[in-house]
Amino acid sequence: MKRSFRCLFNFTRGNANLTFVPHHEAVIESQLEKLQMLIDNSTNLLILTGAGISTESGIPDYRSESVGLYARSNHRPIQHQDFMKFKHFRQRYWARNFIGWPTFSNVQPNVSHQILADWERHGKISSVVTQNVDRLHQKAESKAVVELHGCAYEVKCMKCNYEISRHDFQNLLIELNPSLSVQNIEMRPDADVELSQELINTFRVPHCQQCCDEVEGFFKPNIVFFGDNVPKSRVEFVFSQLQSCDCLLVLGSSLHVYSGYRFIVRASELGIPSAIINIGPTRGDKFASVKLSAKCSDVLKKICM
């Protein structure tokens, strides 16, 4: 009990923003006890996190009932092929991302990120595989993080592979668009915001200065956009991590997309127990030994290590 009290005392001061957290019920104690037993019997947890772990930091997700992007608008995220093929799609993406970036990049980890970092420091988990591109796990000082869908903090030339940090890229965008400033804009997932077509049409995007050929390279964030595939080597690495773990814990993911769903399927095939903490049903519920339909932090704060 002493250990549990220490965790509660330290972590209740974590940053919390419930604007984008959907309605949820209190934690059911009988389910919590099952989860505690599963974690007690594990010495090598593999964690898989989705957007639901970051909503408490103020980053909206796509699919949550009432508060997710799909529930609040007809907007859909950019598709990989559109970004790669069409200059005007890239111009629109970077104009909107330029406005949203200062808010997105200043978001801080919440209590759930902090607890996972603490579990890692105490040798409870082997790694955190995240579907998020927000780098909040690293901000919370988790070290063994696999960014399944890449990271918004890195930008890459699609021709010569030259890489630049997103912060440095923001400075380039500021130089080219010094007068563009929009206030009180609601941020969507991945730093997207709504802008008028007039502002988008005047937005200037830099070409890659490292490309010396006649065809200039263009920049793309190091993110697996919708319609693209997670690199095979990354998937195989996670499968190898899964092979050596003794429990899979899914946090804040509906497992709707195959990129995350495949891992709970593989865990089931390997006979590895899994648990899910997510508000509402998930695609992987049938594979889970324990499922808690609750806010991630409400559960994690009650787990005793």
Where is the binding site for Zn(2+), in residues?
157, 160, 208, 211-212
List the one residue out of 47, 67, 69, 250 whose CA is nearest residue 137.
Answer: 47
Q: Which residues fall in the annotated binding site for NAD(+)? A: 50-70, 131-134, 252-254, 278-280, 296
* Rounded Cα–Cα distance for residues 265 and 122 (Å): 28
**Angle, CA 256 vertex, CA 255 and CA 258 arms, to 5°:** 80
Answer yes or no: 88 catalytic. no
What's the CA gap between 10 and 105, in Å, rounded? 24
Of the residues 149, 167, 207, 256, which is catalytic?
Answer: 149
| Annotated binding residues | 50-70, 131-134, 157, 160, 208, 211-212, 252-254, 278-280, 296
| β-pairing verdict for 125-130 and 145-147 | parallel
Task: Please write down the HEC assignment for all residues of 91-141.
Answer: HHHHHHHHHHHHHHHCCCCEHHHHHHHHHHHCCCEEEEEECCCCCHHHHCC
Phi, psi of 112 (to 5 degrees): -65, -45
Q: Could you list the active site residues?
A: 149
